[in-house]
Structure 1
Amino acid sequence: METLPKPWFDLAKYREVRLKEALYEAELAERFLEEGFVRNAAGKAFQAWKTLVAAYAVDKVEELKNAFPGRKKPRGMRGRAESALWVLAIMPTTALKQVAQIVGGDVDIYTDKALWIHEYQYDGPDPQAILSPYPDDEVAVRDIKRLVEKVRELAERQLRR
């Protein structure tokens, strides 16, 4: 597997490696589903989505700089990096929705599904559907499969460009 370049050094290479990583994570999600490990599959599908969002956000660096101003000191680095590039590198779950809105389109729309799947990973199904839209594993599996399909579609589209 390729080493992930830091976005403050090479944005194009960063995007390429993140797109490949998204495809690897999606493949793992599918394997977990085949084995019946639904909550593990949910985690891998969510990781694939976060990685994909980071790759797509490369094209929106200027907007990210407006949304995440300032500088941060990344762990293990001597100097400071722009906060927007730190968000791009780490893609914290707490920033995922905001970044997805900046990217727009399917990335924004499917991020909502990804966040529900992320919650399902930790909390499991909710038969009363009070805290989660997933009353059972089968409903969650359908959304996990849809998210994985969208990861593949969007990642492959970017890799071809």
Structure 2
Amino acid sequence: MDLKLRPNLYYLKVKGLSVEVTKPWIDDKKYKQDRLIEAKYEAELARRFLEDGLFRNAAGKAFQAWKALLASLSVDYIQELSKYFKGKRKMRDGRVVNYVEWIIALMPTSKMSNVAQILDNLLGNNIEAYTDIAIKLHEFQYNGLDKSGEISRYTSIEFVKMDLEKLLKAIEKFLASSPP
């Protein structure tokens, strides 16, 4: 199948096939569904990498899974999030969207903690704590272990494994309650 990829759109590669992920300002329900599917597949890959001892790869995939899940959870709370993320954002194609929708669409790492804090206040479920773990794993993906704890927060692979297991179980729990 030959897909024509359009510029300025987000694509998810699933089982060798590129799938266009709808933006929340176009169709929020489809966007949520797309991100849940992304979370599911990224978590499955993270689990495989963990089992194969590819810890940095597992950390990266677990982070991506949580990021997608956080974005999907955010869709239902756009009104609440818009109280904190005000204004507009100009897209590359010239279109202007609400800043909160832009954040939900991209879920930049720099905004994940803020979004998680807001959602955790609304929902509980340790969303903020899991987001902190995801960000630590993201740092580990790039920096690896550091016995001194200066460059990476992980000084032992055992701590990485514990956090990977904890985050992957949380993702599975969230996906079970809101299946793609």
In the superposition, the TM-score normalised over structure 2's length comes to 0.82
Q: Is 1:36 matched with 2:56?
A: no
State the aligned residue count.
159
Q: Secondary structure at the match of 2:146?
A: coil
Q: Contact (CA 8 Å) 1:61, 1:85: kept in 2 or not?
A: yes
- Report what 2:43 is aligned to: 26
Q: Which residue of 2 aligns with 1:116?
A: 136
- Spell out, residue by residue over 1:126-148, the C-alpha distance to the aligned partner (whole angstroms, 9 max, x if none): 21334544212222012112111
Q: Map residues 38-53 of structure 1 onto 2, 5 A cutoff.
A: 38-53=55-70
| Large movers: runs of 4+ above 6 Å | none
Q: Match of 2:3? A: none
CA distance in 2, matches of 1:159, 1:3: 19
Larger helix proportion of the pair: 1
Contact persistence 1:60–1:102 (CA under 8 A): no
C-alpha RMSD over aligned residues: 1.6
Unmatched segments (≥5 aa) in structure 1: none
1:142 alignment counterpart = 162
Q: What is the percentage of aligned positions where both structures have the same residue? A: 43
Whether the 8 Å CA contact 2:63–2:135 is kept in 1: the answer is yes
Of structures 1 and 2, the one with the larger relative CO (CA 8 A, separation 6+) is 1
Normalized per residue, which structure has more strand? 2
Show CA shifts across 1:36-85 (max 9, x none): 2110110000010111100111111012212111111223x342111100
TM-score by structure 1 length?
Answer: 0.91
Q: Secondary structure of the residue that 2:42 maps to in structure 1?
A: helix
Q: Which moved more, 1:142-151 or 1:92-101?
A: 142-151
**CA distance in structure 1 between the aligned counterparts of 2:161 and 2:79, rounded to whole angstroms:** 36
